[in-house]
Amino acid sequence: MNIEISIIETLLVSLLILFAGYYLNSKIAFLKDNNIPEPVVGGIAFSIIAAILHVYFDINFQFDMTFKTPLMTMFFTTVGLGASFSLLIKGGPKVALFLGVATIYLLVQNALGISIAVATGMEPLMGLIGGSVTLSGGHGSGATYADLFINEYGMQSSVFELAMAAATLGLILGGLVGGPVSRRLINKYNLKADTSYHEERDDTVTFDPDDHDLVTPRKMMETLFVILLCMYLGRMGYDALKAIDVILPAFLIPLLFGVFITNLTEFSKIYKVSRACIDLWGTMALSMFLAMALMSLKIWELLSLAGPMIFMILVQAVMLMLFAYFITFRVMGKNYNAAIIAGGHCGFGLGATPTAVANMESLVSRYGPSPQAFLVVPLVGAFFIDITNALIIQLYLSFPFVSG
């Protein structure tokens, strides 16, 4: 029996899924400690209930997903609007250096994923799903590219379930491996925190500390106007490129327009885009998008396909640990700050920026402060890596042996 769910009811269910995720995270220490996103927790819980109803009662839900794609595009547009070049300059050479290291690892991550996919008899595109699409990109990127691969490259619909599973497993592993890597580096080289640091932790934020604008209804609406303008211009650009057979992810052009507009307004001083409002719109859009995406997760289709993907993610975790230990640590200066940054790299290289921050929080509470790490890692993980990741994925998609 199929149950048709209208657009309003779909939004209500997605919000209930979010609230369920908040509740479960507040009650289950493992979920909170590993920074599993609330929409993922609630979405997986709902998908388990839906699987039980499907298997035992032959009940299936058909949701109206009209808002899913616009919400996804809105989130990635806010990523572009948050990518201010002044933030990169503020972080100094260390931000640029870490961005370079993290970008090089994206190449390694995808090459490893594709190699494992081919070796285990999967399509090469699955190597991207088990690579930077879901691990460095997270659930939002995984859902986006899963839709792209299904619609534009003819992959099976089960790729979405695999992408969500890969992103979730990566998030968990990212919270588990970062601490041990940094602790071994600190102990092996007898590293100590720089006692000359006296900054308060509240000063080491990713946003401009001079940005004191209040979140008001007017500022929220002004920011929404800027976001929708970027989405509109991005859609025009996407259609124009598609007309000449250049296929890009639907979110990439709006994201780039966001980068252009936020830096244009910043340097021209004609308008100041509210970072607080961007963050709020982005968080809400991503949460709603993930909840809606996970509402239709078909766990029963995932069971027979999960084995090779789980193997791929585990190998990816080992590779990132080695890369962070031998490469990230040395390139970033082979000192205490570099050891903390290496743990953070494990966090967002497998999971998300909150996972990276959680890794570093745990480490500095034991070994001492590292303001540099708390500036560099969130800047790269929250803003710039999403842009370079999209470009690296597009590079791999341009190879005939990958896209077929």
* pLDDT of 201 above 50: no
Contact indicator for 175, 168 with CB cutoff of 8 Å:
no
Cα angle for residues 121, 122, 127 (degrees, 5° grid): 130
Selected residue with higher pLDDT from 88 and 237: 237
Q: What is the mean pLDDT of residues 364-377?
A: 85
Tokens of 187: 């102990």
Q: What is the distance between the alpha carbons of residues 80 and 76, in angstroms, rounded to a whole number? A: 7
Three-state secondary-structure class, residue 297 = coil
> Residue 34 — very low, low, confident or very high, per pLDDT cuts 50/70/90?
low
- Most confident of the ranges 87-91, 226-230, 370-374: 226-230
Selected residue with higher pLDDT from 140 and 74: 74
Selected residue with higher pLDDT from 115 and 295: 115
* pLDDT of res. 90: 67
| Portion of the chain with pLDDT greater than 90, in percent | 46
| Portion of the chain with pLDDT greater than 70, in percent | 91
Selected residue with higher pLDDT from 359 and 234: 234
* pLDDT of 323 above 80: yes
> Residue 302 — very low, low, confident or very high, per pLDDT cuts 50/70/90?
low
Contact indicator for 174, 347 with CB cutoff of 8 Å:
yes
Taking the alpha carbons of 165, 150, 398, 253 in that order, is the dihedral positive or negative?
Answer: negative
* pLDDT tens-digit map of 217-274: 999 999 999 999 999 999 999 999 989 887 777 777 898 899 899 999 988 988 988 9
Phi-psi region of 398 (alpha: psi -120 to 50; beta: other; left: phi over 0): alpha
Contact indicator for 249, 148 with CB cutoff of 8 Å:
yes
Rg (CA), the chain: 21
What's the half-sphere exposure (Cβ side, CA atoms, 13 Å) at 242? 12
Buried b (16+ CB within 10 A) or exposed e, 40-59: bbbbbbbbeebbeebeeeee
Tokens of 304: 């027979």
Q: What is the distance between the alpha carbons of residues 179 and 289, in angstroms, rounded to a whole number? A: 30
Q: Phi, psi at residue 158, to the nearest 5°?
A: -65, -10
| Distance between start and end Cα atoms, the chain | 37
Q: What is the mean pLDDT of residues 287-303?
A: 77
* pLDDT of 42 above 70: yes
* pTM score over 0.85: no
Three-state secondary-structure class, residue 270 = coil
Q: Phi, psi at residue 2, to the nearest 5°?
A: -100, 130
* pLDDT tens-digit map of 161-181: 888 888 888 887 888 888 899
Residue 385: name the closest of 181, 36, 104 by CA. 104
Lowest mean pLDDT among 30-44, 254-268, 323-337, 375-389: 30-44
